Amino acid sequence: MKITRKEENGIVAVAFSGRLDADSSPVADKAVKEILDGQTDRLLFDLGELEYLSSAGLRVLLSAAKEMKRRGGKIVLCSLNEFVKEIFEVSGFQSLIPITDSVESGQQMLA
Amino acid sequence: METNTADGESILLVDDNPTNLQVLYQTLEGVGCKLLIAKGGELALSIAAKALPNLILLDIMMPGIDGYEVCQRLKSDPTTANIPVIFLSALGETGDKVKGLQMGAVDYITKPFQPDEVIARVNTHLTIHRLKQEVERRKDELEHELEVVSVVQRRLLPKQLPTIDGYRLAVRYDTSRYAGGDYYDIIGLENNCWGFLMADAEGHSTPAAVLMAMTCALFRAYPGVASDPAQVLHYLNEHLCKVADPSFITALYAVYDAGRQTVRVARAGHPLPMIYRAAEKKAEELSCPGVFPLGIEAYEEPIPVAETKLQPGDRMLIYTDGLTERFNEPGEAYGEQRLLQQLGTEAGDDPQKVLAAIIEDVQRFAGQHPADDDQALLLGIVSK
């Protein structure tokens, strides 16, 4: 799994690629926590290159969403592939974390 | 814990030359270990086996059996295989060093040696050896604890499946490591109804096992009759929200009415139940809109409950995603489609046989690739 991060117009965009599962989630969790240590209140997760997401991965995304809610910030997940989208639907997570089709629409939602 | 103590530690010095032995002895007198000496290979082997030193400094060129052979024999005996060996020899060629290291030696010092270098290397390898032993000990301790957790956890599962009028059950429960996060339970309700709970705490091993045990305790303490699937999930969620963060538990609760052969289902983040309709010879997922998993936050909307009627020969499978997310070597998941196909397998009406056929197919699919999640399956077949 690869995680890249960039900051633009007050939005921290984090792109995950590869598999976010039990093996890679500790690394992802640490990376997300480091980002949340900052003052960020606009968080965009670009999942366009994410191939697989397990429940351990869901927990990482959920922790970020909970923290953003706590600090009154906003979070959005963008560009989920069909498989990842289905996981969100079956697991009911789409009602916990906003999802959108593209990074552009995600940026608008956070603007 | 004292890991740095040299108490009781010993080093075995092996050299056929008494002068060399004496120099080595004097060099290492200050490291705080008991020093043992052997003037030949055979003697070295017998002292090593008896005294189990923490480190062996081994000369290569010796009459009788040489250092290479001593090393080989030490490494092939399980009791001495873990003792680190440092070769000490006048041979300075790279090839000899490589040969020594390939035989399992940890280091190689060329004679004539610098006393400071010998002391430094000896101390380094003693430290590595101590840490290695410590890691081994901790690993054994942890495995033992997990085994205990696993035994306790299995006692939380139903000891045997109940006999239900016109509905035969079979179950399968496997954890990927010692302890796991999957949990199922079956309870008898009023009016010939039965409650089936299937739950999956996120993660594996001890943290998941603790949440699994919590879910079990809560479910067994449900106030009243657990005949409303939505209320049961509300109740579990209310209590699990206080303890689960940052984790969560997916759950499905089904109430089967054995008199009317109907089933009512509610689910929280859990995979949909699968139903095989015998008349159509077709399996499908029971459409059942759910809520997010237990333990995250309160449900503000009502939890939807889906209901369906089963016919003789119909099969209902509730399971955890360790089954459908079992991977093979190329990295493909077993998946819901293949599981649906297998649910319709021609294995007769014995749920044990149908379940065995499913498991066999999953094994066939996964091949040598190990399971990295826990899996639980509960299958019921309506009698004809």
Residue B3 scores a pLDDT above 50: no
Pairing of strands B55-59, B10-14: parallel
Residue A74 has pLDDT above 70, yes or no: yes
Judged by a CB distance cut-off of 8 A, whether residue B381 touches chain A is no
pLDDT at position B2: 36
> How sure is the predictor about B5, in pLDDT bands with cuts at 50, 70 and 90?
very low
User: Does any CB of chain A come closer than 8 Å to the CB of residue B373?
Assistant: yes
Q: Mean pLDDT, to the nearest integer, of B10-33? A: 94
Are the beta carbons of B202 and A66 separated by less than 8 Å?
Answer: no
Under 8 Å between Cβ of B320 and B198 = yes
Instruction: Name the residue among A54, A95, A96 with its Cβ closest to that of B325.
Output: A54
In which region does residue A80 sit, left (phi positive, over 0), alpha (psi from -120 to 50) or beta (all else)? beta
Q: What pLDDT is stored for residue B7 in this prediction?
A: 61
With a cut of 70, say whether residue B176 has pLDDT above it: yes
Break chain B into its structural domains and give their ranges: 10-140, 157-382
Q: Which domains does chain A have, with CATH numbers?
A: 2-110 (3.30.750.24)
**Amino acid identity for residue B50 in this structure:** K
- Whether the Cβ atoms of residue B365 and residue B357 lie closer than 8 Å to each other: no
- Phi, psi of B32, deg, nearest 5: 85, 15
Q: Which numeric CATH code is attached to B157-382?
A: 3.60.40.10
A59–B203 C-beta distance less than 8 A: yes
Q: Say whether A91 and B292 touch across the interface (CB within 8 A).
A: yes
pLDDT number for residue A38: 86
Closest approach of A78 to chain B, Cα-based (Å): 19
Specify the length of chain B in residues: 384
| pLDDT at residue B67, rounded to an integer | 94
**Do B203 and A63 make contact, defined as CB atoms within 8 angstroms?**
no
pLDDT of residue B203: 76
Residue B90's pLDDT is: 80
Count of A-B CB contacts under 8 Å: 51
- Whether residues A90 and B292 touch (CB distance < 8 A) is answered with no
**How confident is the prediction for chain B on average, in pLDDT?**
92
Q: Write down the pLDDT at residue B206.
A: 84
**Distance between B304 CA and the closest CA of chain A, angstroms:** 12
Q: Which two tokens stand for residue B188?
A: 């008898």
| A6 pLDDT higher than 80 | yes
- Dist. CA B156–CA B184, nearest whole Å: 9
Highest mean pLDDT among A33-37, B232-236, B298-302: B232-236
Residue B49 is predicted with a pLDDT of 95
In DSSP notation, B305-372 reads -EEEE--TT-EEEEE-TTTTT-B-TTS-B--HHHHHHHHT-SSTT-HHHHHHHHHHHHHHHHTTPPP-
Mean pLDDT on B294-317 = 96
pLDDT tens-digit profile of B99-132?
888 889 999 998 888 999 999 999 999 999 999 9
Judge whether B332 is closer than 8 Å to chain A, CB to CB. Answer: no
Its pTM stands at: 0.80
What percent of chain A clears pLDDT 70, i.e. is strictly above it? 100
Range A40-45 average pLDDT: 94
Asked whether the predicted pLDDT for residue B1 surpasses 60, the reply is: no
> Which listed CATH number (3.40.50.1820, 3.30.450.80, 3.40.50.2300, 3.40.50.40) goes with B10-140?
3.40.50.2300
Provide, as residue numbers in chain B, all residues whose Cβ is less than 8 Å from the Cβ of A96.
Answer: 292, 296-297
% of chain B surpassing 90 pLDDT? 78
Q: What is the pLDDT of residue B331?
A: 84
| CA distances in angstroms from B232 to A93, B264, B267, B288, listed in the order given | 20, 12, 10, 16
pLDDT over threshold 50, residue B219: yes
